[in-house]
Every structure is written in C-alpha cells, then in structure tokens.
Amino acid sequence: MRKILLALTFLIILMSIPVYAHCPVCTVAVGAAAVSAKYYGLDTSIIGLLIGAFGISTGLWFGLKIKKQFFRYQLPVIVILSFVFTVVPLLALNTEYVYFPLLLFGAAGTALNKVYWLNKLLLGSIIGGFITLAAFRLHLFIKSARGKVLFPFQGVVLTALFLAVTGIGMYFAFGA
C-alpha cells in the first residue's frame, strides 16, 4: 500500500504545472520549515502542523490565482483538495499515534466513554490547516479594516507567528 501511495504522489508531482502563490514567500517558508523540522528531529505532530499549513497555503495560492469562477465554492473546494492531496499520501509514512481519553459518561466503550487514537501527523496537519486559515482571515480583516496592510509581508509574518506559537505549545504538549 505504501509503495502505491508513494508512486501516486510521485506521479502527481511529475504531472504538476507551475503556479503562482497568493503569497509565494509564505508557501515556501512553511514548506522549508516542515523540511527543517524533520531534519532537526521535532515531533511528528509539529511536522504535521507545518505540512497542514503548507497544504492550505498551496490551495490558497492556486485558488486565488484562478480569476474566473467555474463553479460555486470554487476556492474552498480547491483549498480542501490541496490539503487532502498534501496530507493523505504522507499518512502512510507515519506510525506514531496519540490517544485522547474521552471519559464523560455512559457505559465503557460507548462514544462518550472511550479512548480514541489519532495519527500524530493528521492531528498536527488539521491544527496547522486551521491556524493558517485563521492567520489568513486575520490578514484579510486587517487589510479591509485599514484599507492597506500594516507592514510589508503582513500575511507571512502573521502566519509564521501563529504557527510558531502553536508549534511551541505542541512541543510542550506532545514532544517534550
């Protein structure tokens, strides 16, 4: 199964065409951070945080470049597909899990009294995706409220700051 997923990922990469980012610096920075995090041996959830951010950033990059709207909800569909096609092939490479005991009430084994296991890469990717979207929305809010950005590369700085703070929190929660 892993070989099929790796071959499919490699095939998709070979068939891809160059695109231009809503913020190419942001996309490259997040991609480089994910590679650096793996190189320095950080926890898989932190690597997932950066991979999820990369998937969302790439989706925004591609979706905002397409000026003509071909169907309703085009941008969210492109962003979600980018996230899925970035994260899902990498899940086969990860074997680390984190557990969440949900022990609220009911008999043992029911939905609210059970221990759930989640892939660390997937957990980090989901968190990274939401953090990136929140930073992008804040950037757009500031830009519309003030009529301009507050400082150059505002979107990049907000995204990097949000991801750094979240990564530090995840380091102490999962990796320390």
Is there a domain that residue 163 lies in? yes
Is there a domain that residue 108 lies in? no
Is there a domain that residue 99 lies in? no
What is the mean pLDDT of the segment spanning 63-68?
Answer: 85
Is there a domain that residue 106 lies in? no
Residues 95-153: pLDDT tens digits?
A: 888 888 888 888 888 888 888 898 999 999 999 999 999 999 999 999 999 988 888 88
Is there a domain that residue 59 lies in? yes
Is there a domain that residue 24 lies in? yes
Q: What percent of the chain has pLDDT over 90?
A: 30
Both tokens assigned to 100: 């969440």
> What is the domain extent for residue 87?
19-94+126-175
Is there a domain that residue 118 lies in? no
Residue in the block written with tokens 């962003």: 79
Is there a domain that residue 3 lies in? no
What's the mean per-residue pLDDT of the chain?
Answer: 82
> Which one, of 126, 131, 121, 119, lies nearest residue 44 by Cα?
121
Residue 6 has pLDDT above 70, yes or no: no
> Which one, of 104, 103, 98, 93, lies nearest residue 117 by Cα?
98
What is the pTM (predicted TM-score) of this model?
0.76
Q: What percent of the chain has pLDDT over 70?
A: 81
Phi, psi dihedral angles at 26 (to 5 degrees): -65, -45
Q: How many domains does the chain have?
A: 1
Residue 17 has pLDDT above 60, yes or no: no
Both tokens assigned to 70: 């071909």
The confidence score (pLDDT) of residue 126 equals: 95
Residue in the block written with tokens 């650096």: 36
Nearest-angstrom CA–CA distance, 101 and 109: 11
DSSP designation for 173: I
